[in-house]
Amino acid sequence: MNLSQYAPWELVQLVSFYFFAAVMVITALGVVTLRNVFHAALCLAVVASGAAVIYLILDAEFLAFAQILIYVGAVITLIAFVIMLTQRAVGARIRQSNDQKFLSLVVSVILLSLLLWKIPTTVWNATSDQTSLADAKTIGNALLTKYLLPFEVISIVLLVALIGAIVLARREKE
């Protein structure tokens, strides 16, 4: 890789992308390997925040802020509260593993080999037409006109998840 072909700002973007991608990979491994569920949720918050930073690097500000508001601000907070409020998640007798380790390893190796096989042969279109990119106003108008029904269905799903978390947290011991 010849670094002299990049402008200084492009080099900063490239280094930032690889740094945050490495942080995301390491914390994603923490999500699936940590035994403490609360620590795994914190690692998931770091992964979601890293995705938001990569969206910012790619000049997709709306997606970055939506990622922070929805995933880091709402979903991860909801998961953390459910974990802290339910005593079953922190009990010593809870089994933190399953019997599908071999199957998941086989599927992961197959997917990794497919990615490593196809990525070098893929033609990446590095140029983009700036007029085709949607800004926050265009996305907001589309969400409130053309995509109003899916937008409302998602809000109902999030409301049901919140109510379910409250029911789990308030369940009395038998």
* All domains of the chain in start order, with CATH: 3-92+133-170 (1.20.120.1200)
> Averaged over 69-91, what is the pLDDT?
73
How many other CB atoms are found less than 10 A from the CB of residue 51? Answer: 19
Per-residue pLDDT tens for 83-141?
777 655 455 555 556 678 889 889 999 999 999 999 888 887 766 665 556 677 888 88
What is the pLDDT averaged over residues 65-83?
Answer: 82
The tokens for 59 are: 């000049």
Per the CB < 8 A criterion, the answer to whether 39 and 80 are in contact is no
Question: d(Cα 48, Cα 68) in Å, to the nearest integer?
Answer: 7
Model confidence pLDDT, tens digit, residues 24-51: 999 999 988 888 878 888 899 999 999 9
The C-alpha atoms of residue 17 and residue 58 are separated, in whole angstroms, by: 9
Nearest to 67 by CA among 150, 21, 76, 160: 76
How many alpha carbons fall within 13 Å on the CB side of residue 127? Answer: 1
Closest CA to 64 of 76, 74, 52: 52
| pTM score above 0.85 | no
